[in-house]
Amino acid sequence: MLIDDIALTMHPEIGSKTAIHLLEHFGTAEALFAAGEEEIVERTQLKASIARSLCRREFHERAAEETAFVERHRIRAVCSTSEEYPRRLKECPDYPHVLYVSGGIDLNAAHWLSVVGTRRITPYGSRLCERLVGEIAERCPDTVVVSGLAYGVDIAAHRAAMNAGLKTVGVVAHPLTRIYPSRHTESARRMVHEGGAVVSEFHSGCRCDKKSFVRRNRIIAGLSEGTLIVESAAKGGSLITADMADGYHRTVMALPGRVGDPCSEGTNALIKSLKAQMVCSGQDIADTLGWTVSAPPKTGSGTDDAAAASLTPAQHNILRLIGTDAPVSLEELGLRGGLSLQELAGVLLELEFSGAVRSLPGNLYIR
């Protein structure tokens, strides 16, 4: 009975591991609450005061209110004894007994990839995140991308997944009564609308703090077969997620960054210490996880040739000066391209409209 499951998670002296311990002995929350105080203590060695509290059903009234709340807001409350519960997460020793899910995604779909990193994502990280997710989508179009809906790498991963036609799941550190940060609310709605979900272990009455984000991170790590760290400083929440994933015997991957870049110190250290596999492409990710992939798209297709043929000589001249790794400034393009700034601005605008280049803050351009 769902009310029993929710009531169990509401007890302030019963955490995830204790709930798992109790369920291992009684099978279901319903059977636990049907037992007497002495039986609970004898079978589980639980403190008598906590067993007495369970027998009094002190949190069932609030649990009934929560059940009505989730039904009213079309939220699924999925308990760990349900077939809907994500099997990968249940393999972890501290899985939450109840997950609240906004969205209709199959929590046991085949391929799940967690993507996390710094909140201060660089243009390099943003570009590579979008490219790697796009390449995974081409090779494994049923992949579900998981992240934490936070600033930086998290939201970049969610948006890259949606742009590539993948379903994406945001795991949040607060109840589903709101979205934090609020400016990501529209992205969260789009995620749900396009077949993904927003997930939390926190019921609507929870008051969350900094520790809630660490608890959230274990769900991000536990839902997927592998976790990719895109960018990270020497210390950060994404490194905690990496440690959790490693502790769950999941594959940890990291994108290498430039030497000396503060936003890549953490990822480079993971690779250097052999705590993470270095990946540079979607194919690397698929190979590392042992995924069977579709044939990668052919390069140099007739469509690409036609697009290249449609460029003017001036556009060709400027495009060859712009690479895919390091941005080039407007001033440098003007000096090397032999065009006035007015002529150059027109050419760059045309290249942007065609999708050949992208402008970055500071009058920088990249392919």
Burial of 262 (C-beta count, 10 Å sphere; 0-12/13-18/19+): middle
Exposure string for 176-196, b = 16+ CB within 10 A, e = fewer: beebeeeebeebbeebbeebb
Q: Average pLDDT for residues 81-109, to the nearest whole number? A: 97
pLDDT at 306: 46
Mapped to the 3 state alphabet, what secondary structure does 8-74 carry? HHHCCCCCHHHHHHHHHHHCCHHHHHHCCHHHHHHHHCCCHHHHHHHHCCCCHHHHHHHHHHHHHCC
CB contact set of 132 (below 8 Å; sequence gap of 6+): 228, 230, 255, 279, 281, 282, 285
Lowest mean pLDDT across 5-14, 240-249, 252-261, 289-298: 289-298
| Residue extents of the structural domains in the chain | 2-102, 112-289, 302-366
Give residue for tokens 């979900």.
Answer: 197
pLDDT at 311: 78
Q: Average pLDDT for residues 268-274, to the nearest whole number? A: 96
pLDDT band at 330 (very low <50, low <70, confident <90, very high): confident
CB contact set of 350 (below 8 Å; sequence gap of 6+): 312, 315
pLDDT band at 238 (very low <50, low <70, confident <90, very high): very high
What's the distance, Cα to Cα, between the start and end of the chain in Å? 56
Burial of 276 (C-beta count, 10 Å sphere; 0-12/13-18/19+): buried
Query: Which tops the pLDDT comparison, 337 or 296?
Result: 337
pLDDT band at 322 (very low <50, low <70, confident <90, very high): confident
pLDDT at 309: 54
pLDDT at 294: 72
Q: Average pLDDT for residues 9-20, to the nearest whole number? A: 96
Q: Average pLDDT for residues 18-34, to the nearest whole number? A: 97
**CATH classification code of 302-366:** 1.10.10.10
- pLDDT averaged over the chain? 91
Report how far apart, in Å, the C-alpha atoms of 265 and of each of 17, 148, 219, 259, 282 are.
34, 21, 25, 8, 22
What is the pTM (predicted TM-score) of this model? 0.82
pLDDT at 358: 80
pLDDT band at 320 (very low <50, low <70, confident <90, very high): confident
CATH of 112-289, one of 3.30.360.10, 3.30.70.260, 3.90.550.10, 3.40.50.450: 3.40.50.450
pLDDT at 308: 53
Contact 363, 329 (CB under 8 A): yes
CA–CA separation, 197 vs 341, rounded Å? 47
Q: Average pLDDT for residues 150-177, to the nearest whole number? A: 96
Q: Average pLDDT for residues 221-243, to the nearest whole number? A: 96
pLDDT(24) > 90: yes
